[in-house]
Amino acid sequence: MITGGISAPHHLAIRAGERILRLGGNAIEAMIATAATCAVVYPHMNGLGGDGFWLILEPGSTPQSIGACGTAGLHVTPDHYLQSGLSSLPTRGPLAANTVAGAVSGWDALLTLSRRLGGQLSLDTLLDDAIAHAEQGYAVSTGQSQLDQDKLLELRPYAGFAEAFLVNGNPPQSSTLFRQPRLSITLQRLARDGLDSFYCGALAHDIAHDLQRMGSLLTAQDLEQHRTFPIRVLGMAHDSGQLSNLSFPTQGLVSLAILGIAERAGLADVEPNSADHIHLLVEASKLAFVWRDRFITDPRHTTLDPQSLLTEKILQRLAQRIDRAHASPWGKGSGPGPADTVWLGATDPSGLTVSGIQSLYHEYGSGLVLPRTGLLWQNRGAAFSLNPESPRYLEPGKLPFHTLNPALAQLKDGRIMAYGTMGGEGQPQTQAAIFSRYALFDIPLAEAIAMPRWLLGRTWGQSSNNLKLEHGIDLRVAHILAARGHILEWLPSRDLAFGHAGAVLRHPTGAVEAVSDPRSDAYPA
């Protein structure tokens, strides 16, 4: 019996990882197969033309990280946009395709780490499922079909999009057999020539050629200079155990701060899913988002040590600012807005555990599909600012701000939980909801993920900044929240705005729980 597990938002990606575990592969190898397959069968949310972040825990060790995110190109300058009459970074089109895609380099770094730990499966084997689904086709998920309908008018004009993702000019219906033959060939080239060929060599030449021909400012030099890098792993002691997340340029600091502030404001003493539970986490989120907007940037562009903000003194001081009876003011905010993402998790019989995340930023990224390779390119650079006073001010070679942040928890009784979610501003809030339900209130993990959620601010597919409640939250809870001053908005049950969460949990006995969100397409129709 294999005491391992995989979590992903699509059932074919889960199967790909499980196949690797059955072949004797480790959690990292399974994660590469899962990530590659998810990049094919969930193209609206992630892809080879996007970025990724990875948090890896070896048994008996401390967590380590891989930052697989690209910088702005060397010719990507604020003046270019300002002289083009733009006051902000575009979210679609060639000028939005302005940062190098790091996802494939992350798989390469994972493969190197796997080899060091004794992994022996070939790259061909790890990419088999992804190649097959791109070449032979897969059934379009409900999520992809729905999003295609919603974003049709916005995305159809962009180069290559209609040819790659529409059928006779229309979005494919759910369960339609859908193929990506050019992407299959690209994956086969990677399997043959190595994952680093994405950045150097003939494949990289094709990528750079298409980007420049389509009007992007990225060059072959930008691809060649790209490297993965270790991101500092932030740690925070919690009454339940040790929590880990990633430092800048991700918002991992925010995810940890919300839980740290709420703990000191008395979260453990309230009723689960009560108005007090939601209120404390929402108020802690408001405080943590102030840090996000003030501080988070390329780590090379700041002297701030984010770990220094997670001290008992600072967290306690912030907790004291929470009024248990009244919501603090919350305006329009300046957060990153909608983002599409997939969270992926794996653990194997040895206890090796991986928490990872991939994204194109907005749904279908820049909308550009490169003709030679079938690659859909991200628009992560839209997170930059043209305001010189902003910590996210655009500069050539700079890392953009990332909402992405995979989480890990090492609980005091020996349980290890990798968890995370998609959802822009919602990521740290949903992490807090899931962790508090499971670790503080002993709600079974699958229920903790499936239960109705809440979100403050802008998130996936939404532009308003009020407090959104998912249908199913008790009306009495909503009335109390409204009485405390929260501006509420109801959204349907399992609305995409609440994201796709997941978790992989290893018990001290070796038993494993792998849970994917019922809001996702993790379960075959």
- By annotation, the residues acting in catalysis are 341
- Token pair, residue 94, equals 């060639």
Question: Furthest-apart CA pair in the chain: how many Å?
Answer: 62
Which residue, 461, 454, 415, is CA-closest to 433?
Answer: 454
Neighbours of 473 (CB within 10 A): 20
Integer-rounded Cα radius of gyration of the chain: 21
Q: Do 22 and 129 contact (CB within 8 A), yes or no?
A: no
Residue pointed to by tokens 């018990």: 507
Q: Sign (positive/negative) of CA torsion 512, 243, 55, 436?
A: positive
Cis bond before residue 63 (omega within 30° of 0): no
Q: How far apart are CA 250 and CA 110, in angstroms?
A: 19
Q: Distance from CA of residue 496 to its chain's centroid?
A: 14
Provide the residue type at 69 as one letter.
Answer: C
Cβ contacts of residue 341 below 8 Å, gap of 6+? 45, 46, 357, 358, 359, 403, 404, 421, 422, 423, 424, 427, 499
Instruction: At 470, give phi and psi (nearest 5°).
Output: -80, 135
